[in-house]
Amino acid sequence: MNILLIYPACPDTFWGFRHALDFISKKAVHPPLGILTVAAMLPGEWEKKVVDMNVSRLKDKDVDWADMVFISAMAVQKKSAEKVIARCKSKGKMTVAGGPLFSASPDDFPTVDHLVLNEAEITLPEFLRDLADGKPQRMYSSDAFPELEHTPVPMWELLDIKKYASMDIQYSRGCPFDCDFCDITTLFGRNVRTKNKWHVLTELEQLYFTGWRGNVFFVDDNFIGNKAKLKQDVLPAMIEWQKKRKNPFVFSTEVSVNVADDESLLRLMVEAGFASVFVGIETPEEESLVGCNKKQNTRRNLVESVKKIQAFGLEVAGGFIVGFDNDSPSIFSKQIEFIKKSGIITAMVGLLNAPRNSKLYKRLKSENRLIQDCTGNNTDFSINFIPKMDVSRLMEGYQTILKEIYSYKPYYERVMEFLKAKQTEAKRSLRFRPTYIKAFFQSMVVLGIKDRGRLYFWKLFFWSLFKRPRVLPLAITYAIYGFHFRKVFNV
Ligand code: SF4
């Protein structure tokens, strides 16, 4: 059997960093981890080929070669996935689809031959067994959440890793919290399932032997869902491994804000090589946090929590949302003030949307306020329900936030403030890689000559060069990020 595994194209999004990738000659930030893991679950004797449409074109000869085509996608890839399915069908190929997009709305894909939904550890073996028996069903789904101990190591050898800015690894699935706008707990449960330390080390070792060095992102929904296991078992093992291998990887991940309450955990994460974390801040308005059941963010000074995480040497990227029912008219200025005060450079500000499997979706449906499915793209200015606030006021306020935090002057000022306050320089700042040389010279041309904000760029550049040379790589990195943010938000 020849199996073609396709990862459809993503549109231009905040997290895609498309406008920044060119500086380091990369095509995508993240590899298609799910499809590489599925590839490892297929019979060893099958021939496999992966086409990630974010880094290369899908060619007719690839489709012609295949006996069966596997497609995995998220909501944001829906348009591209539909085209891929139509193209494979027109060539008479058998299609098998899975992943969050298909699991959330299987009825939207009537032409797919086989839908293998939810977690592949359960449904894929069932499909393969029936296929071998010559009686594959159209749909396989399951409410069960499998343990991760038998999840295989992704087949990295199917990928050209040089095209990516980061490699990914998964340690856990699920989240103990239950924010109403989030579909993670429906998809993966509130009981956090983890791999053991040997599993994690094996995956790191495999990545190491592919030749990969540099950024590794833990794709976990909430990396600190099981703090005790992390502190006693996994992080100490990672620290030892990093030492033994001379710190080849710089880690990042997603955590809930209560990481700030656990100093020993923060210390261990930094020692293991974590340089940055994404934290869902959502909103500085307590009522909105209570309303969406984001309990872990309530009854605390969120700016202080962010500062504390930063003080341990971790950069904090933050998620922010406007459009909650409880948002007051002053929410826009409060968000701007919060982002400025907290020193968060990478601030993903989006409009509230309700994914299909979320509690919010159910509530809005019962209130007859749903308009459409959410696109999964936080930067396309779409909202899939009727908000309490007047829509034009919401859009206007949202645009004001974006302008206030991403136009040249406030953005470069925020970067400068952050770097001035930064006491602990992450290991990453001290490393110099060949791709940085290209990024350095290209930033001189694009940001220092061609860009309208060149004066701000040079101010930041010379300040870092003469006052804090150790943060110069970080200053240039943030200048490049700013270029991307202004492009995606069109400010
Ligand atoms: S903490 Fe994050 S992953 Fe967990 S339920 Fe809330 S939004 Fe979802």
User: How far away, in angstroms, is 159 Cα from ligand 1 center?
Assistant: 30
To test the pocket of ligand 1, the residue of 181, 193, 256 to mutate (highest count of ligand atoms within 8 Å of its CB) is: 256
At 421 the pLDDT is 83
Q: 435, 25 in Cβ contact below 8 A?
A: yes
Q: Which atom of ligand 1 is nearest to the CA of 178?
A: 5
To test the pocket of ligand 1, the residue of 188, 221, 321 to mutate (highest count of ligand atoms within 8 Å of its CB) is: 221
Burial of 163 (0-12, 13-18, 19+ CB in 10 A): middle
At 27 the pLDDT is 97
At 431 the pLDDT is 58
User: How far away, in angstroms, is 187 Cα from ligand 1 center?
Assistant: 12
Q: 424, 311 in Cβ contact below 8 A?
A: yes
User: How far away, in angstroms, is 389 Cα from ligand 1 center?
Assistant: 24
The answer on 136 and 174 residing in a single domain is no
Q: What CATH number is attached to the domain comprising 56?
A: 3.40.50.280
Q: Which atom of ligand 1 is nearest to the CA of 185?
A: 5
Q: What is the mean pLDDT of the chain?
A: 95
Among the residue ranges 322-336, 341-355, 433-447, 461-475, the one predicted with the least confidence is 433-447
User: How far away, in angstroms, is 74 Cα from ligand 1 center?
Assistant: 17
Q: 259, 277 in Cβ contact below 8 A?
A: yes
To test the pocket of ligand 1, the residue of 184, 298, 324 to mutate (highest count of ligand atoms within 8 Å of its CB) is: 184
The answer on 232 and 347 residing in a single domain is yes
Distance separating alpha carbons of residues 104 and 180, to the nearest angstrom: 16
Q: What is the pLDDT of residues 390-416, one digit of tens each?
A: 999 999 999 999 999 999 999 999 999
The answer on 401 and 436 residing in a single domain is no
The answer on 299 and 230 residing in a single domain is yes
Q: What CATH number is attached to the domain comprising 192?
A: 3.20.20.70
Q: Is residue 49 part of a domain?
A: yes
Q: Is residue 353 part of a domain?
A: yes
The answer on 331 and 478 residing in a single domain is no
Q: What is the pLDDT of residues 261-319, one digit of tens each?
A: 999 999 999 999 999 999 999 999 999 999 999 999 999 999 999 999 999 999 999 99
Half-sphere exposure of 475 (CA within 13 A, CB side): 25
Q: 343, 418 in Cβ contact below 8 A?
A: yes
Contact residues of ligand 1, CB 6 A cut-off: 175, 177-179, 182, 184-185, 221-222, 256, 280
The answer on 431 and 305 residing in a single domain is no
- Model confidence at 379, pLDDT cuts 50, 70, 90, reads confident
Q: Is residue 17 part of a domain?
A: yes
Task: Tokens 């809005």: give the residue.
Answer: 364
Q: Is residue 52 part of a domain?
A: yes
At 425 the pLDDT is 55
Could you list the residue range(s) of the whole structural domain that residue 268 is in?
166-406
- Model confidence at 429, pLDDT cuts 50, 70, 90, reads very low
